[in-house]
Amino acid sequence: MPTIAPNYIYAFFALIAVSSILISAFAAYATTLRTIPEIEQLENLLSHIATEGYKLITLTMVTNSTSEVTLQLPSTIGNKRYWIRLCNESTKAWVEGGLGDIQKLTVQNRIYLPKTVSAPGNYSSSHGSASLECEMNGFTIKLYLRNWREST
């Protein structure tokens, strides 16, 4: 009889280990299932901002005037805050964004704008509406992204 009791104890600890692994795997799977729609919603938001930027750039080029649009953006994606910024290099400009705090690293969520655009500015979802402004400065078109309160 003394040899049967340790077998039950070993089997009990093995069941605990396997249960912990299964619970961790299901929790990671559930987190992934929640993250995929959040990233898709962020990409749709970036696409919307890039589209509005294209409209303003075209309007500014045709009329040679300053134009501005106020964007009503959601305060969160899922239950997470997000950020969006306009960036540019010498040959290209883009809209990028991410969930959580602003990152200084390379971001995977990017949508490119016309290469003749200078695009500074950023937006955090905790600050209300966003303002997208486009102006012609000589031969350079500047597209600004700001919090709406700052621009008025």
pLDDT at residue 134 in the model: 92
Q: Is residue 134 assigned to a domain?
A: yes
- Position 10 in a domain: no
Average pLDDT, the chain: 85
- Tokens 């997470």 -> residue: 80
Contact 17, 39 (CB under 8 A): no
Q: Please report whether residue 14 resides in a domain.
A: no
In a domain, residue 56? The reply is: yes
pLDDT of residue 38: 87
30: three-class secondary structure by DSSP: helix
Residue 144 amino acid letter: Y
**According to the model, what pLDDT value does residue 30 have?**
87
Q: Is 16 domain-assigned? A: no
* Spans of the chain below 50 pLDDT: 1, 151-152
Confirm whether 112 is domain-assigned: yes
Residue 65 maps to a domain: yes
Burial class (CB in 10 A: 0-12, 13-18, 19+), 45: buried
Q: Could you tell me the residue range of the domain that residue 121 belongs to? A: 39-151
Per-residue confidence (pLDDT) for residue 17, from 0 to 100:
94
Number of separate domains in the chain: 1
Which residues lie below 8 Å from residue 132, measured CB to CB, with a gap of 6+? 49, 52, 53, 56, 68, 69, 70, 71, 143, 144, 145
26 part of a folded domain:
no
